[in-house]
Chain A
Amino acid sequence: MKNVKTTTILAMAFISLTVMSCKDSKKEQVNEESHTEMNHDNSDGHHDNDTSEMNHDNMNASKDMMDSNAQDSDAKQVVADYMALKDALVETNKDKAAKAGKKLESTLSGFNVSNYTSEQQKELKDIIDDAKEHAKHIAKSPIAHQREHFKILSKDVVDMIAITGTETTLYQQFCPMYDKGSAWLSMSKDIKNPYYGSKMLNCGKVQKEIN
């Protein structure tokens, strides 16, 4: 009986300690996170100022660089990931699309906008934030939702390319049937509809050629 008592007391102490320490460490973590986030924001802010003030000379240089290779590697990767996603939707393959969405999300997270003018940076950041949200949802949604998000994502990518330019020719294609008319981008002129897949594979037309 005495044994039971001591075990219970020990157990009690143990449980309360673990629970307390668990909660505390969780709290600490949260604090730490918000700290780093704050610092991050700060440093970001500084960073922006720095680049806009300090790098005036550099800016011309980078602009030249941008002209010489029309599109930076981040934007190129976004387009590549987007195409993988589009192809998965054409196949009506939810898991493949989810994977592509995840990949796209991580590419977008690492997008370096510092080579652009401050106005372009603002626009790009907005586009990237928005696209990231859609990519994130595509990574965890059923196919119907993936397609809904893909529609808005397509607009984001089109707007991004308007700023970053594109090395390869892209075709903006349009399906008048899906959700009052929806566009997407493709590398080829051929129509393969990502909104319906095999149900209506060839529904749509080329709307615009983007060079």
Chain B
Amino acid sequence: MKIVKIIALILLVGFLCIQFVPTNLNQSNIVPKTDFLLINNPPENLSTLLQESCYDCHSNNTGYPWYNKIQPVAWFLENHIADGKDELNFNEWDALSNRRKKSKLKSIISQIKDDKMPLSPYVIIHKGAVFSETEKQEIIQWMTQLKDSL
């Protein structure tokens, strides 16, 4: 019994301690000239969809939820965002060559088609991020057109 108490106490104290560890926030007010939406100027509704469903992890500016104030959640999010930006950063779109843009578009299309993106843990919290079937088709069609125009 005593052991259990001690362990619980240690865990609690550990939990409290890690709350003081600072996180690097992915936030920026500047939208660079290389931004995907600025360059390609998609229809208004698509632009909103992409911002809502993709930009939190695939740009330099994340709209953080309240629970990002809690560790270890914040670490988890930090990792996801780093990985997401590593694969694709919409803010830096135009820095890519046409060859690379085509490859990225191909991957975007295939990820959305297979419901791999937006990521399921993200969608659980952000209900609005889920694409409806029509939205999916619309995005895929538009992205395919863009890819073929390059």
Contacts and interface: CB of A to CB of B under 8 A. Distances in A.
Q: Do A and B come from one complex?
A: yes
Contacts of B13: 8, 11-12, 15-16
A129 B103 CA distance: 11
Interface in A1-33: 4, 7-8, 11-12, 15-16, 19-20, 23
A23 B21 contact: yes
Q: Is the interface of B mostly helix, strand, loop or mixed?
A: helix
Interface residues of A, number: 21
Nearest to A125: B97
Contacts of A126: 97, 99-100
A133 interface: yes
A74 interface: no
Interface stretch (B2-10, B26-34, B60-68, B123-131): B2-10
Given A4-B2, A11-B10, A20 B103 contact: no
Nearest to A4: B6
Contacts of B102: 152
A3 to B, nearest CB: 10
Interface size bracket, B side: 10 to 19
Contact of A19 (B21, B106, B110): B21
Nearest to B21: A23
Q: Is the interface of A mostly helix, strand, loop or mixed?
A: helix
B84 to A, nearest CB: 15
A152 B106 contact: yes
A11 B12 CA distance: 11
Interface in A121-178: 126-127, 129-130, 133-134, 137, 145, 148, 152, 156
B100 A130 contact: yes
Contact of A12 (B17, B18, B21): B17
Contact of A7 (B6, B14, B103): B6
B21 A20 contact: yes
A12 B13 CA distance: 6
B103 A152 contact: yes
Contacts of A129: 100
Contact of A8 (B6, B18, B100): B6
Interface string A27-66: 0000000000000000000000000000000000000000
Contacts of B14: 15, 19
5 contacts: A11-B13, A15-B17, A16-B13, A19-B14, A20-B17
Given A11-B6, A11-B10, 16 more contacts: A4-B2, A7-B6, A11-B9, A12-B13, A15-B17, A16-B13, A19-B18, A19-B21, A126-B100, A130-B103, A133-B100, A133-B103, A137-B107, A148-B106, A148-B110, A152-B106
Interface of A: 4, 7-8, 11-12, 15-16, 19-20, 23, 126-127, 129-130, 133-134, 137, 145, 148, 152, 156
